[in-house]
Amino acid sequence: MIGKVKKEKSVIIEVNAAQMAKKGAEIFSQAAKKSVETRGRFSAAISGGSTPRDMHRMLGEEPFRSNITWDKTDIFWVDERCVPENDPASNYGAAKKDFLDRVPIPEAQVHPMPSEVSPEKGAFNYQQEILTFFNTGAGEFPVFDLIFLGVGTDGHTASLFPGQGSLDEKVRMVVPVKGGHPDLSRLTMSYPFINNGRQIVFMISGKEKAGVVKTLLEDKQRRFPAHYIEPLNGQLIFLLDRAAASLLSGENGYGGC
Ligand code: 6PG
């Protein structure tokens, strides 16, 4: 079910988490096809946490394993915990296990955030890696074809946590922060960079997220960090399962299930 809200957000509600994950993989595959046809390459930035893992596993299986042009795809991260790859908290480590080790993507096209140097150095190095990859001029934010985001029950997204200075970052594309569950040093992309994306997809599932979804989509007051994800020129999609959408009133033509 797809609805449109006033601010041109698309809301897609799938019957359960598995169908939501499948829809996410389809969005990934369609974005890859369109980007390669249009620009010859496809760049995606993915999130960590538990929500995207079913989708990641599907990307490593048929039909997605075969129908995505992995040789023209580059994968980046929206955020990362500053831990080694083999730490259970590592977003890169999880994605590697879930799909990157199972698809024919050249290693040089997988761009994990530098998680084992100082957070300040890691943030700077990743920003340099992104600028080199996109070959963008100084002061210009590169454009990712697709960005997947999750949302915490406190309304954080990426590792942009309530009340932190990172929410005010306007210049750097990647900044060091500390917080979250687990409470760790992390690297996160900043708002101006994320909001430059062509297509931004929030993937949110589960009853425990129903309150934050209702607030994000129906409250006029913008009190959560995730409220400030507003693509400058791109498309914003809320990809939900029924449980996460269960408190929506349906007044904007979506939800109410
Ligand atoms: C991270 C994630 C984070 C995540 C939300 C939701 O590295 O922690 O990027 O932003 O998307 O915390 O996490 P769940 O999907 O586990 O609910």
121: its two tokens? 């150095």
Domains, the chain, ranges and CATH? 2-206+220-246 (3.40.50.1360)
CA of 48 to the centre of ligand 1 (A): 5
Q: How many angstroms separate the CA atoms of 24 and 30, rounded?
A: 10
Mutate to test the pocket of ligand 1, among 151, 164, 166 (most ligand atoms within 8 A of CB): 151
Mutate to test the pocket of ligand 1, among 157, 187, 188 (most ligand atoms within 8 A of CB): 157
The tens-digit pLDDT sequence of the chain (257 residues) is 565 444 468 999 999 999 999 999 999 999 999 999 999 999 999 999 999 999 999 999 999 999 999 999 999 999 999 999 999 999 999 999 999 999 999 999 999 999 999 999 999 999 999 999 999 877 789 999 999 999 999 999 999 999 999 999 999 999 999 999 989 999 999 999 999 999 999 999 999 999 999 999 999 889 999 999 999 999 999 999 999 999 999 765 565 44
Give the CA-trace dihedral at 98, 96, 93, 13, to 10 degrees.
-40
CA of 38 to the centre of ligand 1 (A): 31
For residues 193 and 173, the answer to whether their CB atoms sit within 8 Å is yes
Q: Is the peptide bond before 231 cis (omega within 30 degrees of 0)?
A: no
CA distances to 79, 172, 185 from 168, in Å: 17, 10, 18
Ordered alpha helix ranges (H), 135-252: 191-194, 210-218
CA distances to 70, 96, 112 from 32, in Å: 9, 19, 19
Task: Kindly tell me the burial class for residue 254, based on how many C-beta atoms sit within 10 Å of its own C-beta (0-12, 13-18, 19 or more).
Answer: buried
Among 152, 53, 48, CA closest to 90: 48
Residue found by looking up tokens 């999130």 in the block = 47
What pTM value is reported for the model? 0.95
